[in-house]
Amino acid sequence: MNKLTKDCLLTINGGSSSIKYALYEIKDTLDQLLSGEMEGIGSGKAKLSFIHLKSRIKHHVDIPVADHTAAGRWLSNWLEKETEFIRVKAIGHRIVQGMEHTAPEKITDRLLKELKAISPYDPEHLPAEIKLIEVFRKHYPDIHQVACFDTSFHASMPDIAKLIPIPIKYRDKGIKRYGFHGLSYSYLIEEFKRTEGAEKAKGKIIIAHLGSGASLVAVKNGKSVDTSMGFTPASGLTMSTRTGDLDPGVAWYLQKFEKLTPGQFNHLVNHESGLIGISETTANMQRLLQIQHQDKRAAKAIDFFCYQCIKWIGAFTAVLGGLDTLIFSGGIGEHAPEIRERICRGLQFFGIELDEKKNTNNDKVLSTDASKVLVKVIKTNEELMIARSVCTTLNYNIKHK
């Protein structure tokens, strides 16, 4: 159906307080023309950073938006000023929680109604994402819009890995382990297969997507078999402001004796915990690394993060029955050599050996030739994965670069 030789598609990646977007030209391949990110939505200090790929010059604009509806309207008006926007024929939206949806889908009234019904399963992301869909559908009713679900990649997990051990009357309502960061993992597996070949991509792989949101996945034969995030993106590995896994007794104690409401508790575990909760100074890993020798709390936050990563990788190696490849990605995984070195140092008994110079230089391959496990850094690209998913859903024939 590749008659839309030079049409464009737009990707929208909505977070709880941010929106990333990218514009691609659809030719034989997907050529990115521009990208941007709105940050601080709802804070009163929202900003837009954007770049045109030809000029490579990054620009920053203060924006007066109070919520995602206003942000969506502002963004659509802003994008209409771009000369390429008139050629947009499709919009792809990242949807964090898709529950039983295992593939991207065209957005219809029925799908939107369903997403609203499951919003309680992900109150941190889904309501904002739905607002963005509604804004862009209202502004552009004739443009195809596609929902790309973060949970789809983990649909292949065995039932035992999805199980949450509570009474069946609650499990029947959809309470189980879903897993997230699926668009990132899908892209990383495709990229690993492209660079290392199909045979290695069938091996036993652990991917560490380490950023402000952080998770790990165990992959075998190209499929997710287990992942650290579960029912919500607040679970699993500790993150910048999220707790990660938490003893449920803590929730009971805080609500009963510290009088936290459910809403206050949800805010605590998503926005006041993790690295910021331990350090009490910053949630930014690069900043923590800079001050760790003068601030014991910063050092403890780093120690805890690395300790948790080592535990999860050890557990997933047991699930896989061995480990062939360890892939680092995300902001921390791609740009923090010290974190990678400390994690891998704790896994030397697996036969992991890092090349110090390659690691310091953020090379694509970090392991030595003698290492029993291949260690790589792959830069993730959720926007490109959304764009590819839109093309697949709408039957646009493209080649992957």
| Helix locations, 225-261, DSSP H | 248-257
Q: Is the dihedral of CA 335, 360, 239, 325 positive or negative?
A: positive
Could you tell me if 330 and 214 are in contact, meaning their C-beta atoms sit under 8 angstroms apart? yes
Could you tell me if 153 and 183 are in contact, meaning their C-beta atoms sit under 8 angstroms apart? yes
Q: From CA 224, how far away is CA 255, in angstroms rounded?
A: 35
- Of 13, 169, 184, 25, which Cα lies nearest the Cα of 90? 25
Of 150, 172, 247, 355, which one is the catalytic site residue? 150
Assess whether 150 carries a catalytic annotation: yes
Q: From CA 89, how far away is CA 343, in angstroms rounded?
A: 44
Q: Which helix (H) or strand (E) holds 177?
A: none
CA distances to 23, 189, 193, 198 from 329, rounded to whole Å, are: 23, 11, 15, 20
- DSSP label of 87: G
Give first-to-last CA distance, the chain, whole Å: 19
Could you tell me if 98 and 73 are in contact, meaning their C-beta atoms sit under 8 angstroms apart? no
Q: Output the six-digit token pair for 58.
A: 């990054």
Could you tell me if 191 and 378 are in contact, meaning their C-beta atoms sit under 8 angstroms apart? yes
Q: From CA 106, how far away is CA 373, in angstroms rounded?
A: 40
Q: Which helix (H) or strand (E) holds 304?
A: helix 296-320
Pairing of strands 204-210, 325-329: parallel
Could you tell me if 19 and 386 are in contact, meaning their C-beta atoms sit under 8 angstroms apart? no
182 burial (CB, 10 Å; 0-12 / 13-18 / 19+) is: buried
- Please give the single-letter amino acid code of residue 156: S
CA distances to 133, 236, 382 from 278, rounded to whole Å, are: 36, 16, 29
Catalytic positions: 150
